[in-house]
Amino acid sequence: MSYPYQIKSLKEYQEAYKESVENPEAFWGNVAESFTWKKKWDKVLEWNFKEPSIKWFQGGKLNITENCIDRHLETNADTPAIIWEPNNPEDHYRVLTYRELHHKVMQFANVLKNNGVKKGHRVCIYMGMVPELAIAALACARIGAVHSVIFGGFSAQSIADRINDAQATVVVTSDGSFRGNKVVPLKETIDDALMSCPSVKRVIVSTHTRTPVSMIKGRDCWWEDEIKIVETDGNPYCPAEEMDAEDLLFILYTSGSTGKPKGVVHTVAGYLIWTTYTFVNVFQYQPGQVHFCTADIGWITGHSYLLYGPLAAGATTLMFEGVPTYPNASRLWDIVDNYKVNILYTAPTAIRSLMGFGLEPLVGKKLTSLKVLGTVGEPINEEAWNWYNEHIGKNRCPIVDTWWQTETGGVLISNIAGVTPSKPSYATWPLPGVVPALVDETGKELEGNDVSGNLVIKQPWPGILRTTYGDHERMRQTYFSTYDNQYFTGDGCYRDENAMYRITGRVDDVLNVSGHRIGTAEVENAINMHAGVIESAVVGYPHAIKGQGIYAYVMYNGRSNNEPELTRQDILATVTRLIGPIAKPDKIQFVSGLPKTRSGKIMRRILRKIAEGEINNIGDTSTLLDPLIVEEIKHNRL
């Protein structure tokens, strides 16, 4: 596999950037030539950010699995596509070559068809990090079904919300999954979710943990049995459905500042081209290298840089079932050494947590195979960046700090490994096709360098979201109504004297906890569902390992008011039940009231300052209905 669009020098980056923004149609049309089409496009790009309407490669026909699998078979059929490392290092690892992956994806695509799945249907996938998850997602794409992968840590209620929003007809799950020393009962959670999901007709269950599960006649079937049925049919072949460039590929739910999570929609051609282009460029992938992205496929990073981007590039992608600290804090380094990993892509929160174990877990680890390191998901502090650079990269591996979002499909701002300069805690320069700008609160663009503002993007790139599922107006409202004709990222940002970008964090009510996006409104709604809670307000505060922690102020007059610790535990259980353990507040402070303006709006700015410990710098409280409440909250601060 060769990558004619791979940028090899600073000069090539500058040229590619210029061409891509001045003449996007010619630039991306040229990149698209390196992909496999059933029919070429009629028009490269048509867009307006008003409606908004964004169409790339209109008229083009293709299937993403032909690009991710079939086209590699001629020369690279025996190249490992997926290496799977189990949770327990004593268990057997698995390798799927491109030939085997092709076979398994077609088999399962036939299983989906046998179970009534047709082009355009939505299939929910709720599994741990096992190869079957990748196979299931690719099998959907093979037949044109739209997958909606749900992270294995979400609760039954969250799953039900997502299934109902997408009106999924089929669920693919496992009996359970292993994470560290825990067994997560996935099928049981699905059973709870499905009590309120009438659209689901079939549940396909793969066996992994052998956790006992209920199997409901007429609805539930075993993955392995269904595979046997297609095997005895004798014809494993499953043609790749011809898809329009703009047909839906998948929905992935993500949190915003208001309401329930929204279904971000990505479409076939633009997403394929963006993830492949950015994968090959940012990490400077070379054929034969082993790429290890530690993200779960339940998040966008797993979709783009564990699954689609690497496979489309014909890479070997390593999938790890477990967690970096099990059975001990050497685990990632053992994996790197065992499989001679060349590219390691992880989150700052993982780096900080491993840093906390000191250098002992690194004793005897070679790490000589590593060529490029990457980070994603949250701002990386200089200390973590330096540790990663010195102790993992041994000062010889470029670190790419990749800034992007579920909505952007792939990386937008990042240095290019070894090609463009890096700067600790800076995502640095935009990739070709990306036109960032900083604006002030009124929407005025801040020109020049050494400025801070809200980050917007002025032109579409191929991987931009196309809609929010079932509610296009919500997409317009959320991303295109704050500033005219610009995509609003929700992030604050600083541009230094060399025009390098440093992302400073969300400017809306979205938290980033261990690199996971959580809406404060979602957490508040869950807390408020707890009997006895009158009202609550949730803000983020700096957390040494998670980046941000969740701080909840709760007004409570329930029954066991005199047992605050028990109540706290009960509230945590409620949040876990409604959203999942990732949304559990780190701190809960009981308050007798919340600081509100005379019009009844909670002054989050004040609560944020208190949570951050800046109690002497609260600012003006004179517009508050009851300024005294601030004193009480300050006094009892946790």
Binding mask 229-268 for ligand PRX (x = CB under 6 A): -------------------------x--------------
| Smallest separation, CB 178 to ligand PRX (Å) | 24
| Smallest separation, CB 591 to ligand PRX (Å) | 28
Lookup: tokens for 70 = 């079939």
The single-letter DSSP state of residue 403 is B
Asked if residue 436 has a cis previous peptide bond (ω within 30° of 0), the answer is no
Interacting span for ligand PRX (CB under 6 A) from 67-75, 211-219, 362-370, 372-380: 372-380
Binding mask 522-541 for ligand PRX (x = CB under 6 A): --------------------
Interacting span for ligand PRX (CB under 6 A) from 47-55, 283-291, 460-468, 500-508: 500-508
- Candidates 272, 300, 435, 500: give the one binding ligand PRX (CB under 6 A): 300
| Smallest separation, CB 476 to ligand PRX (Å) | 19
**DSSP bridge partners of 430:** 413
Q: Taking CB under 6 A as the rule, does residue 298 contact ligand PRX? A: no
Residue 102 or 303: which CB sits closer to ligand PRX? 303
The single-letter DSSP state of residue 413 is B
The Cα–Cα gap between 325 and 392 comes to 16
The Cα–Cα gap between 357 and 204 comes to 40
The Cα–Cα gap between 150 and 580 comes to 12
Contact at 8 Å (CB) between 341 and 317?
no
Instruction: Please give the helix or strand (H or E) that residue 17 lies within, else none.
Output: helix 10-22
Contact set for ligand PRX, span 309-368 (CB under 6 A): none
Interacting span for ligand PRX (CB under 6 A) from 29-37, 230-238, 402-410, 461-469: 402-410
Q: Taking CB under 6 A as the rule, does residue 422 contact ligand PRX? A: no
Q: Taking CB under 6 A as the rule, does residue 427 contact ligand PRX? A: yes
Residue 514 or 589: which CB sits closer to ligand PRX? 514
Identify the CA nearest to 66 among candidates 138, 161, 15. Answer: 138
Residue 290 or 376: which CB sits closer to ligand PRX? 376
Interacting span for ligand PRX (CB under 6 A) from 81-89, 169-177, 468-476, 498-506: 498-506
Contact at 8 Å (CB) between 7 and 282?
no
Q: Taking CB under 6 A as the rule, does residue 377 contact ligand PRX? A: yes
Q: Taking CB under 6 A as the rule, does residue 281 contact ligand PRX? A: no
Q: Taking CB under 6 A as the rule, does residue 301 contact ligand PRX? A: yes
Rounded to 5 degrees, what are φ and ψ at 160?
-60, -45
- Candidates 206, 402, 420, 574: give the one binding ligand PRX (CB under 6 A): 402
Contact at 8 Å (CB) between 319 and 347?
no
Residue 227 or 293: which CB sits closer to ligand PRX? 293
| Smallest separation, CB 267 to ligand PRX (Å) | 18
Identify the CA nearest to 244 among candidates 41, 396, 81, 395. Answer: 41
How many H-runs (helices) and E-runs (strands) does the chain carry?
20, 30
Rounded to 5 degrees, what are φ and ψ at 259?
60, -165
Residue type at 470 in one-letter notation? G
Contact at 8 Å (CB) between 353 and 545?
yes
Residue 453 or 490: which CB sits closer to ligand PRX? 490
- Candidates 122, 423, 517, 546: give the one binding ligand PRX (CB under 6 A): 517
- Candidates 66, 191, 220, 378: give the one binding ligand PRX (CB under 6 A): 378
Task: Kindly state the number of chain residues that form the binding site for ligand PRX, as judged by CB under 6 A.
Answer: 22
Residue 353 or 512: which CB sits closer to ligand PRX? 512
- Candidates 404, 483, 488, 556: give the one binding ligand PRX (CB under 6 A): 404
Q: How do 43-48 and 53-58 pair as beta strands?
A: antiparallel
| Smallest separation, CB 160 to ligand PRX (Å) | 21
- Candidates 84, 403, 461, 487: give the one binding ligand PRX (CB under 6 A): 403
Please provide the DSSP assignment of 358-392 as one string: -SGGGTT---TT--EEEEESSPPPHHHHHHIIIII
Residue 191 or 401: which CB sits closer to ligand PRX? 401
The Cα–Cα gap between 17 and 431 comes to 7
Residue 198, classified by CB atoms within 10 Å of its CB into exposed (0-12), middle (13-18) or buried (19+), is exposed
Q: Taking CB under 6 A as the rule, does residue 478 contact ligand PRX? A: no
Interacting span for ligand PRX (CB under 6 A) from 41-49, 403-411, 520-528, 549-557: 403-411
| Smallest separation, CB 448 to ligand PRX (Å) | 22
- Candidates 110, 405, 454, 467: give the one binding ligand PRX (CB under 6 A): 405
Identify the CA nearest to 31 among candidates 268, 282, 283, 270. Answer: 270
Residue 439 or 625: which CB sits closer to ligand PRX? 439
Rounded to 5 degrees, what are φ and ψ at 86?
-70, 165
> Residue 388 CA to chain centroid, in angstroms?
22
The Cα–Cα gap between 510 and 512 comes to 7
Contact at 8 Å (CB) between 157 and 529?
no
- Candidates 122, 208, 331, 506: give the one binding ligand PRX (CB under 6 A): 506
Tokens 């081209």 correspond to what residue? 273
Q: Taking CB under 6 A as the rule, does residue 111 contact ligand PRX? A: no
Contact at 8 Å (CB) between 175 and 205?
yes
Contact at 8 Å (CB) between 588 and 571?
yes
Residue of closest CB approach to ligand PRX: 406
Q: Taking CB under 6 A as the rule, does residue 480 contact ligand PRX? A: no
Residue type at 166 in one-letter notation? A
- Candidates 267, 406, 420, 467: give the one binding ligand PRX (CB under 6 A): 406
Rounded to 5 degrees, what are φ and ψ at 186?
-65, -45
Residue 300 or 464: which CB sits closer to ligand PRX? 300
Residues of the shown chain interacting with ligand PRX in the complex, contacts defined by CB under 6 A: 254, 300-301, 376-379, 401-406, 427, 489-491, 503, 505-506, 512, 517
